[in-house]
Amino acid sequence: MGKSSVLSEFAKRRDNQVIKISLLTLGAGPDHSTAGSESNPAAQTTSNRIQKEIVKQLLYQQSPARTPQSRFRRIVRPRPLQEWVLAVGGGVVALLALLASGALVPIAASLEIDLWSPPSPVRLTAVGVVALLLATLLVRLIRSVLAGHVGIEKVAAGPATISLPPRSTSYFDEYLDEIIYFFEVDSGRDVVIIEDLDRFDDPGIYESLRSLNGLLNSAQQLQGRNIRFVYAVRDSIFEGHGVTPSGSMESVSDETERGNRTKFLELIIPMVPFITHRNARDLLYAALTARGHTIPRPLVDLAARHVPDMRLIHNIVNEYDVFKRQLLDVEQPVPQLDAERLFSMVLFKNTQATDFEAIRRGDSSLDRLFDTWRQLVGANDDHLRRENDRLRVRIEQNAAATDQAADLGHRLQDVINVLVDAPGSMFAAKTVSVDGTTIDAAGMQNPDFWRSFSQSNSSLTFSMHPGRYSYSQEMTLSAEALETLLGHRSTARLRAPDPWMEIARRCGSMMQASSSCGATPGRHSSSETILR
């Protein structure tokens, strides 16, 4: 329960004693079209605009019939009984006037009635009733025809609208007599509740209201009545009061005096806040559950901290109930719309009302977010497609490289076996080394081994020891000799676009060309084959 709820309940309990004034309809900015604003610039100050609204609502709450002395003439709805009484009175006056002026003599003569001879009582009564009835109907008809068509353009006795003359600086001062007259006529009301006064951030208006309250309570016409003004304000409204235009604070005593709320308010009743951003989720979830709605708790916890206002929470629940009945609880619900998405839409509508209205034009932040999301999805989809193609090609290449490396490993091993097992061969070992590292049969089938070989510019060296002698010799093949051995001459030196196919092609003729390769003997510490 907030401040407005407390004041509404108080006004409900003391309906005959309370006057409610709401400033919710008063705009925050000045209205330059207001009458009198050009002649008196003071009329457009925030304080005077508030005073004008208070005076207008205060004076126009009273019935015009109860304030006949007021300078404000207002349209009054005619009462049937009063109109007929006036018509009868007007008819009597009209008959007497016609009778006194002799205008009825020709009419009576045509009806063979002698107005100056004593008539019989019955005849006199009948004629009088008929004449009065005709006169009454005629007057009533004339008033009905002229009602609302005859008006007064200007009243010289005083202004017809609430305006601030050039000689005045305050609406309260200008219409103080009207305000006192209002309370004098309505003697039963002595409590004035003014709502939404704190949204203008103008502490000066409280000084004017306090002064007006003092004048009303001291007016002799009101016979010592105790009229009280009640406001619903927030505590921070008086914090800035006492700051100089330069932004510096005046003396400590002056600042303390001006900042003290008791300077303007005689009694302060604090309102303990029952809703914050921390417990709003529980209140919102309870309100939804009470209506029978099931919304995921994580969504409520996420959104409720942004709506710490009980009136807004009730409005969210009410709107969700309406939207749900129209969109979900029907024979053909909206496709792809569930309770969670609908509740999110209602939350967006209540927190971003202007942006929500732009949805139907396709110009809201949600539309821009959706477009950005589509662009990100498209870009990410293209990236994933390219990455997928790259990985697929890499997998295919790796699979082909593995097969080719295995094939080349078998071929190399066959070449070594042929060289070792050939009659008169001086090769005594079947091992292969690269830069001093021994490569076994499995290593010969490794794609990395062949990739390094195809990209290097080093020579191919075979180590051997002849016959029964213990010393060893090296046979080194230059790049040109290796190309001759492989049966393919290339200036790229084994660097083909597809290294695995190039290696397979060049090593395919190794067995046939092994016997024709030129060799340069040398010494080595062991009998092995080295690939550098």
56-75 per-position pLDDT tens digit: 888 888 877 778 778 776 66
Q: What angle do CA 330, 334, 337 make, to 5 degrees?
A: 115
Measured CA to CA, the distance from residue 167 to residue 184 in angstroms comes to: 26
Measured CA to CA, the distance from residue 151 to residue 240 in angstroms comes to: 50
Task: Report the pLDDT averaged over residues 426-433.
Answer: 61
Give the model confidence (pLDDT) of 337-377 as tens digits: 999 999 999 999 999 989 999 998 888 999 999 999 999 99
Please give the biggest Cα pair distance in the chain: 185
Phi, psi of 259 (to 5 degrees): -80, -10
Task: Report the pLDDT averaged over residues 277-297.
Answer: 91
What separation in angstroms does the CA of 244 have from each of 177, 240, 255, 482, 513? 35, 9, 10, 96, 104
Residue 358 neighbours by CB under 8 Å, 6+ apart: 364, 367
Give the model confidence (pLDDT) of 371-407 as tens digits: 999 999 999 999 999 999 988 888 877 777 788 778 7
Q: In whole angstroms, what separates CA 74 from the centre of its chain?
A: 43
DSSP line for 203-232: THHHHHHHHHHHHHHH-GGGTT---EEEE-
What are the boundaries of each domain within the chain? Answer: 3-74+159-263, 80-146, 280-351, 412-531
Phi, psi of 149 (to 5 degrees): -105, -15
Q: What angle do CA 140, 141, 144 make, to 5 degrees?
A: 85
Measured CA to CA, the distance from residue 231 to residue 54 in angstroms comes to: 13
DSSP line for 85-127: HHHHHHHHHHHHHHHHHTTHHHHHHHTT--TTS---HHHHHHH
Measured CA to CA, the distance from residue 56 to residue 174 in angstroms comes to: 13
How confident is the model at residue 159, as a pLDDT? Answer: 41
Q: Which two tokens stand for residue 164?
A: 């601030």
Per-residue pLDDT at 48 exceeds 90: no
Give the model confidence (pLDDT) of 238-274 as tens digits: 665 554 444 444 555 555 545 556 777 888 888 887 8
Residue 365 neighbours by CB under 8 Å, 6+ apart: 352, 355
Q: Which two tokens stand for residue 344?
A: 């999110």
Give the model confidence (pLDDT) of 200-238 as tens digits: 877 788 888 889 999 999 988 888 889 999 988 877 776
Q: At residue 235, what is the residue type?
A: D
- Cα dihedral angle (211, 213, 215, 220), rounded to 10 degrees? -170
The band of 471, judged by pLDDT with boundaries at 50, 70 and 90, is: low
- Strand order across the 460-464 sheet: 437-439, 432-434, 529-531, 460-464, 473-477
Neighbours of 71 (CB within 10 A): 15
Task: Select from 448, 502, 510, 440 the least CA-distant residue to 477.
Answer: 510
How confident is the model at residue 383, as a pLDDT? Answer: 94
Helix (H) or strand (E) holding 520: none
Measured CA to CA, the distance from residue 351 to residue 332 in angstroms comes to: 29
How confident is the model at residue 46, as a pLDDT? Answer: 81
How confident is the model at residue 199, as a pLDDT? Answer: 79
Please name the residue ranges forming H helices in 33-79: 46-59
Q: Which two tokens stand for residue 128?
A: 């009088």
Residue 502 neighbours by CB under 8 Å, 6+ apart: 454, 494, 495, 496
> Hey, which of 108-122, 143-157, 159-173 has the most confident mean pLDDT?
159-173
CATH class of residue range 3-74+159-263: alpha beta
Q: Is 8 strand, coil or helix?
A: helix
